[in-house]
Amino acid sequence: MVAEGEITTTRTRALSVALSVAALVFLVAGVLLSWSRAAVLALPVILGVIALVLAFRARRSVGGRPGPAVAFLLAAVAIIAPALTVIGVILAGVFAPSATYTLTVDSPEPVTVIIRDGADSTTEQWSSGRSISLDSSQGVVGIDARASEPTAVISCELVRDGRTISTDERAGSVDCGYNAGRN
């Protein structure tokens, strides 16, 4: 006959494993669906800590399923997986291939130019025919130019590693950009 304490221990371990699996599923779903970073990283850690506490409380009993090693292992993975995700994202950015971009704007008058390099942007005043080159490993690079005179025709060109990838010519403002997910 199974003792009542053994049933409680089995339920506690099963709850620990269920919380660990839920934490890992939430982490994977959050990363794939681009949910809020705070929620994607914090909730799995919290669930993993709760699972670890439950696994620790149920450690004394040798019987029951799942075993204590499974409960501890899954709780530890649920806690460590968000940290490994962050490290993977950082390393992917560090080791991303870099490309050389040439950003060119031509206008009959000075223009206000916004240069996008990933999440960073800089604003400058450019005169006619100005261009710059930059090396970037970012997935989004672009240039946005606006003239103070709305009828002034402005053109822009974005060249990546010698190949033109975006051009635009309009009155008042232009936008040339590269988005790795779209281009």
Please tell me the least confidently modeled range out of 86-95, 108-117, 123-132. 86-95
Reported as a single tens digit per residue, the pLDDT across 126-183 is 887 788 888 887 878 888 999 888 888 999 888 888 889 889 999 999 988 888 766 5
pLDDT at 22: 93
5 vs 148 pLDDT, higher one:
148
d(CA 5, CA 138): 56
pTM score > 0.75 for this model?
A: no
DSSP string, 28-77: HHHHHTT--HHHHHHHHHHHHHHHHHHHHHT-S---SSS-HHHHHHHHHH
